[in-house]
């Protein structure tokens, strides 16, 4: 086999993904291809080629938002999976408020989830951020309410995983984002997770930073 360098392994993996997509008769639009392939690379799950939905221009606007912008995640796991090198190159920042003591206290006092309180704080402090939700459907539902009330994030990445309120939260955020003109990338159905949220962020970062080829990240 002979693949010992991470860049070579990733490059070969992407070639395999491209080949298997073609064999399945799947051709993602060029503006979506980097995201679809990055998510499949992360999950080894080709179902995402159909599950990932994009509002018009979401990929382009998401990449633009990465230049000097802010990412907010709903888990520290997703935050840890986002490329610091690409963020630094683009002058971006990333935040997760789930473990913040003031957020925890507010959630207990009001009887809401920490995800709800974290999204409220994030919208207050980073109104134009990219919000990447890979775990908490309540975070998506609260974001949908705030968008309905006038919030305008740069991008919503809605990919929570699970069984309770997951499908409903994705359908809700999709409807609200389409109606209000907020860019959104949503994995319809039950599949998703923090790794998928980070993968989408990384695809957008690498696109914006000219780092899609792994050699450009070394």
The answer to whether the CB of 36 falls within 8 A of the CB of 28 is: yes
> Could you read off the pLDDT of 109-144 as tens digits, one per residue?
999 999 999 999 999 999 999 999 999 999 999 999
In this structure, how many other beta carbons lie within 10 angstroms of the beta carbon of residue 192? 29
Separation between Cα atoms, residue 147 and residue 128, nearest integer Å: 11
Dihedral sign computed on CA atoms, order 200, 157, 60, 84: negative
Q: What percent of the chain has pLDDT over 70?
A: 98
Q: What percent of the chain has pLDDT over 90?
A: 94
pLDDT given for residue 2 in this prediction: 54
Q: What is the Rg, in whole angstroms, of the alpha carbon atoms belonging to the chain?
A: 17
**Where do runs of H (alpha helix) occur along the chain?**
6-23, 30-43, 48-51, 58-65, 76-81, 84-90, 101-110, 114-125, 137-148, 166-180, 194-209
pLDDT given for residue 42 in this prediction: 98
> Could you read off the pLDDT of 143-193 as tens digits, one per residue?
999 999 999 999 999 999 999 999 999 999 999 999 999 999 999 999 999
SS (H, E, C) 98-161: CCCHHHHHHHHHHCCCHHHHHHHHHHHHCCCCEEEECCCHHHHHHHHHHHHCCCCCCEEEECCC
pTM over 0.75: yes
Catalytically annotated residue among 32, 41, 53, 126: 41
Separation between Cα atoms, residue 118 and residue 130, nearest integer Å: 14
Examine the residue annotation and report whether 41 is marked as an active-site residue of this protein. Answer: yes
pLDDT given for residue 96 in this prediction: 98
The set of residues, in sequence order, having a beta carbon less than 8 Å from that of 176 and lying 6+ positions away, is 144, 147, 148, 182
Does the domain spanning 50-213 belong to CATH 3.40.50.300?
A: no
């Amino acid at each position: 086999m002979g693949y010992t360098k991470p860049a070579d392994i990733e490059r070969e993996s992407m070639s395999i993904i491209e080949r298997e997509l073609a064999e399945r008769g799947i051709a993602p639009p060029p503006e979506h291809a980097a995201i679809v392939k990055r998510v499949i690379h992360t999950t080894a799950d080709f179902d995402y080629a159909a599950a990932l939905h994009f509002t018009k221009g979401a990929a382009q606007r998401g990449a633009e938002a990465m230049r000097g912008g802010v990412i907010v995640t709903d888990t520290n796991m997703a935050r840890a999976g986002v490329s610091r090198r690409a963020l630094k190159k683009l002058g971006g920042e990333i935040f997760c408020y789930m473990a913040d003591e003031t957020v925890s206290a507010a959630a207990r006092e009001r009887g809401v989830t920490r995800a709800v309180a974290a999204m409220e704080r994030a919208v207050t402090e980073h109104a134009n951020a990219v919000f990447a939700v890979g775990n908490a459907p309540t975070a998506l539902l609260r974001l949908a309410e705030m968008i309905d009330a006038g919030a305008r994030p740069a991008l919503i990445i809605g990919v929570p995983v699970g069984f309770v309120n997951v499908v409903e939260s994705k359908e809700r955020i999709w409807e609200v984002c389409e109606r209000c003109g907020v860019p959104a990338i949503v994995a319809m159905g039950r599949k998703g997770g923090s790794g998928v949220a980070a993968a989408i962020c990384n695809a957008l970062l690498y696109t914006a930073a000219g780092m899609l080829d792994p050699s450009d990240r070394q």
